[in-house]
Amino acid sequence: MTIDNATQIEFWNGETGRNWVTHDALMEAMLQPLGEAVINTLAPQPGENILDIGCGCGHTSLGLADRVGADGLVTGIDISAPMLAVASQLAGEHNAELSSIQFVEADAQTHAFEPERYDGVFSRFGVMFFEDPVAAFANIRNALRTSGRLAFCCWQPRAVNPFMTVPAMAALELLPAPPEMPPRTPGPFAFEEADYVTEVLTSAGFEGVAVTPLGQPLTFGRGLSLTDIVERLVQIGPIAQMVREAPKDLQQPVRDKVIDAVAPFYAEDSGMTLDGQFWQVTARK
């Protein structure tokens, strides 16, 4: 099964994109360490040009811009207008001298990038949504200089990610399971199989593809009460859609189940911490 990019554009400009904007600080606090680890792997150097695919609200683009400095350039590309609006605002506030960052609202699968413009391509969870991943990565590869490098992170399977399974299993005690998507369907878990990621990148022309496990605890809702954390989980977390579609009379009982399930992973000062298992993917042109 595939989901075309027009549907993704609608999705990321609709409720999902708006929810991400609302909870941007929460999401960023959780994902920042992971992005930092992948930025360290890419190791951008002062003066380099870096492309951030699916940059969302732009936090990683700002991190990359700090590394390349005023002589470098970071381009964040995304299809979500509301998320890019946050990115532009943050860039304006980040550093008045920061002229080395730009955001483009476009589909990275088809956008006519300037050929050989970039030294590196980065993404934190922005490359699993392409209708045709080989075409998308071939297009992105064209934007890289000879020997240019790629580093991104994506999710390992849902089943090995307690951040996904713990709240979901609790909700499923009361709600029907959502329809299962076939493997490789564009979405968060499209790249859950390491061999498939290697196949996609190799078919797109990349060399030296390495897909390595990266474990990173996910800390969600630092400073919030357990009830507030579960409220956020049903708005933007792994059970959002399931709960949104649940009958009215089950809304609170589901929340109560999830509260019980995540309570062992909650601490008042740090919020909810659950393990996350990701792939860190590197390659070169």
**Residue ranges in contact with ligand SAM by CB under 6 A:** 5, 8, 12, 31, 54-57, 60, 77-80, 83, 107-109, 124-126, 129-130
The smaller minimum CB distance to ligand SAM, of residues 63 and 175, is found at 63
> How many Cβ atoms sit within 10 Å of the Cβ of residue 195?
8
How many C-beta atoms surround the C-beta of residue 2 within 10 A? 14
Q: Looking at beta carbons only, is 49 or 60 nearer to ligand SAM?
A: 60
Q: In whole angstroms, what separates CA 213 from the centre of its chain?
A: 16
> Which DSSP helix (H) or strand (E) runs through 162?
helix 162-172
Which CB atom, from 188 or from 205, has the smaller least distance to ligand SAM?
Answer: 188
What's the chain's Rg over C-alpha atoms? 19
| Burial call 122-144: b when 16+ CB within 10 Å, e when fewer | bbbbbbbbbbbbbebbbbbbbbb
Please identify, using beta-carbon distances, which residue of 46 and 157 lies nearer to ligand SAM: 157
Shortest spacing between CB 200 and ligand SAM, in angstroms:
14
For residue 34, the minimal CB distance to ligand SAM (Å) is 8
What is the distance between the alpha carbons of residues 53 and 250, in angstroms, rounded to a whole number? Answer: 38
Give the nearer residue to ligand SAM in terms of CB position, either 128 or 175: 128
What 236-242 contacts at long range (C-beta under 8 Å, 24+ apart), as own/partner pairs, is 236/19, 236/20, 236/22, 236/23, 236/26, 236/27, 237/167, 238/163, 238/164, 238/167, 238/168, 239/167, 239/168, 239/171, 240/19, 241/178, 242/168, 242/171, 242/172, 242/175, 242/178
Q: What is the smallest separation between the CB atom of 66 and ligand SAM, expressed in angstroms?
A: 16
